[in-house]
Amino acid sequence: MLTLYHWEPNANSGKPIMALKEKGVPFESHWIDLQKFDHHQPDYLAINPMGTIPAMVHDGLMLFESTAIMEYVDDAFEGPPLRPADPGDEWRMRWWMKFIDQWYAPAASMIGWASGGVRSSLSQSDEELEEHLKAIPLKERQRSWAKTIHGAFSDAELAESRRRGAYGAALMEEALRRNRWMAGETYSLADINAFNLVYFMPARDDSAVNDRDTPYTMEWLRKIYERPAAVATWDMGRMMRPERLRHLARYPDTPPPPPGR
């Protein structure tokens, strides 16, 4: 039996969902409402004591951390492989996943949180939110959630996140100018990982990802957006529907990437 505990099909939750859909693996979906802090409730903490999303249970084995879950899915189930056969390409896949998880995603997330009005999307009172924050198991996550809810990021933090975001976007663009996919010529877990971070950036006016500056990244985003597994993943959304990705649809005036591959 396979059960995936997840939120909306984006960011960390989107990664294992897309991997499972690519492999054609059926699973029981257990939706966790982050806005109600379901991931900090005792029932969920019994599954994932760290109180983070997503988590997966396969035949009694409890798994946490979205990237590690994706690797487990590729190893444990039949279906199209999501790792390159070439050792060098597999190294590139792992390098990109580590870069995204540890460097690019935290910077991009901070920019989004700082400007996204997180507090206005929550129905709880300030007193209720403080109680929720106290229930978060990890002190680091408590501080992160508090900053996110109250928009308490310093100018220096935001400036550094913008710098990192621009650097990450440029690095991806150069890689995708040379290769069809993140790790080379093979679609892999690195593409799933990166897509779930980058897909919404072109919809932001202040983003470094757009048709003018990063045409190869935009073409890569559109190719993934058109994959059946991505379509099936976003059909699972409750609040974030497929319309959230409408900016990735191809239109007659969508410029193709320049010659260079």
Tens-level pLDDT at each residue, the chain (261 residues): 999 999 999 999 999 999 999 999 999 999 999 888 898 889 999 999 988 999 999 999 999 999 999 999 999 999 999 999 999 999 999 999 999 999 999 888 888 777 655 655 666 777 777 777 777 777 777 777 777 777 778 889 889 989 999 999 999 999 999 999 999 999 999 999 999 999 999 988 888 899 999 999 999 999 999 999 999 999 999 988 899 999 999 876 666 676 654
DSSP character string of 167-233: HHHHHHHHHHHH-SBTTBSS--HHHHHHHHHHTTGGGSTT-S-STTT-HHHHHHHHHHHTSHHHHHH
CB 104 within 8 A of CB 48: no
Cα–Cα distances in angstroms (integers) from residue 192 to residues 43, 45, 204, in the given order: 29, 27, 21
Cα dihedral across residues 102, 95, 24, 49: positive or negative: negative
Domains of the chain, start order = 2-76 (3.40.30.10), 87-248 (1.20.1050.10)
- Reported pTM: 0.90
